[in-house]
Amino acid sequence: MAEVLLSENSVPLAGLSQLYRDPYKLVLDKKLQQSVKKAHSIVADAAKGNAAVYGVNTGFGKLAQTRISATDLATLQRNLILSHASGVGDLMPVTLTRLMMALKLISLTRGASGVSWDLILLLTNMLEKQVTPCVPAQGSVGASGDLAPLAHMAATMIGEGDAWYREEKLPAAQALQKAGLAPITLGPKEGLALINGTQFSTAYALAAWFDTWDIACAAIVTGALSTDAAMGSPAPFRAEIQSLRGHSGQIDVARTLRTLLEGSIIRETHREDDERVQDPYCLRCQPQVMGACFGLLRHVACVLETEANAVTDNPLVLTQTGEILSGGNFHAEPVAFAADQLALAIAEIGSIAQRRIAMLVDPAMSFGLPAFLSPSPGVNSGFMIAEVTSAALMSENKQKAAPCSVDSTPTSANQEDHVSMAAHAARRLTGMNDNLAHIIGIEWLIAAQGVELRAPLTTSPALQNTINALRLRVPGLKEDRLMAPDIATATTALRQGTLIKSVPAEIFPSPETPT
């Protein structure tokens, strides 16, 4: 099991990916204790003082003007968690809940939240011992943080609600006990520090980004495969064309396409007798469309990496000056915008891929391939309805790509009068990625079939490897058979990385924007 170190440095994108995808042990740098304990001491002093400090000795939201006596401060924090744990709907997947918990730890260990080191240790031990809160996925508007879902996380820490202990769902107090842990009594501001923040929305957006990046890389491969199946020209992918425009994403995608198509006999054999002057946009404009999508993905990665390492609760403790300041870092507008941009990229990747699918099954467009790629069309329908399925998924994603960030609604008696809707923006990405993966899985099936129908001509060695990887799981289509299992198998293999692992990893664009 790999170790992920939380230190004074930011956790990079690769580390965040590990927190989402791989078994890990979270290690806390001892140097973090100094700033955490200093901030906690400042909050403890404020709780004993006479001055009103929001969230320490006052109520919350619209109740911020209500002073709370010293004898009620522990009750104040407990009641905050219980009342705010108001989520509904399906539970968050365990992998996402654990990512959310890790992001909350990153924020708390920055030493600006005023929580105790014991609270940080409890959250760390819950991750290590696999105590995972049961968190309903609906209820946040991304306003004063992801209040409802984070409150369910915090509820487990005080022994309330339900939690998973490994794979067993139990009352939270029992789950903690089985793991050898005990519930914590929240001190001043600790409940507020736990539920203020963007970690729910950021976890969903980050997880979606990791999946989208892999599917986008796979879509470059299936795009190259479709180009060869259609006997498309590689000339639009030449470096000179891309450099005249200058966008790094476009340059990178074209380079990947050229590498994948290098050595193809199919196109070379038909170069002179091809009457087409230009290919359809879905082939010719792949560098421009996919390059723009990769540009968005790179921008979104930068935003989400920054947000994952940010302090987003309120109020914040400035250990340099001893001040406790109210602000608005909990507002999830950056995450909402990033998730909306990610949705646009997902929709566009699927849109251009679907047009390639439609072109290949159309005998009027596919340059000599049989109708619907069946060797015996007529009695056989071939990939006719697989293309229709891809169209349905494409349209669903286009509908889901409408921006969520512009849909604000006032809450909390108009105290929180402009909200981000980041949770909505991020949560819908999971389903969009599922749709996109199916579209690219269908293209993999159809493009491989198209290339094989060009025999005895052969594709490039790199693209032949992708066909071989598919054929280990799904045979070529000679006569009609139940199509759904083929689509499911191809899509599962794609999500497991089989397609992109069948070609050298170094040919793909890097998540970092070139300097």
Residue 81 has phi, psi (to 5 degrees) of -65, -45
Whether a cis peptide bond, with omega within 30° of 0, leads into 315 is yes
Q: Tell me how far apart the alpha carbons of residues 391 and 362 are, in angstroms, rounded to a whole number.
A: 14
* CA-based nearest residue to 126, from 184, 87, 196: 184
Integer-rounded Cα Rg, in Å, for the chain is 26
Q: Tell me how far apart the alpha carbons of residues 224 and 262 are, in angstroms, rounded to a whole number.
A: 10
Q: Which of 20, 24, 54, 165 is catalytic?
A: 54
Q: Among all chains, which residue has been given the structure tokens 């409802």?
A: 148
**How many whole angstroms from its chain centre is CA 398?**
18
Residue 317 tokens, joined: 């403790």
For residue 91, the SS3 value is: strand
For residue 133, the SS3 value is: strand
The DSSP element (H or E) to which 437 belongs, if any, is: helix 422-452
The DSSP element (H or E) to which 342 belongs, if any, is: helix 333-361
The b/e string for 335-354 (b: 16+ C-beta within 10 A; e otherwise) is: bbbbbbbbbbbbbbbbbbbb
**Is 281 in the active site?**
no
For residue 24, the SS3 value is: strand
In one letter, which amino acid is 363? P
Q: Tell me how far apart the alpha carbons of residues 157 and 301 are, in angstroms, rounded to a whole number.
A: 31
DSSP string across 243-266: HTT--HHHHHHHHHHHHHHTT-HH
The DSSP element (H or E) to which 164 belongs, if any, is: strand 162-165
Q: Tell me how far apart the alpha carbons of residues 85 and 185 are, in angstroms, rounded to a whole number.
A: 17
Q: Are 216 and 349 in contact (CB under 8 A)?
A: yes
Q: Tell me how far apart the alpha carbons of residues 149 and 442 are, in angstroms, rounded to a whole number.
A: 36
For residue 447, the SS3 value is: helix
Q: Are 71 and 117 in contact (CB under 8 A)?
A: no
Q: Tell me how far apart the alpha carbons of residues 103 and 243 are, in angstroms, rounded to a whole number.
A: 39
Helices (H) and strands (E) in the chain, counts: 20, 9
Q: Are 139 and 148 in contact (CB under 8 A)?
A: yes
Strands 24-28 and 2-6: parallel
Give the active site residues. 54
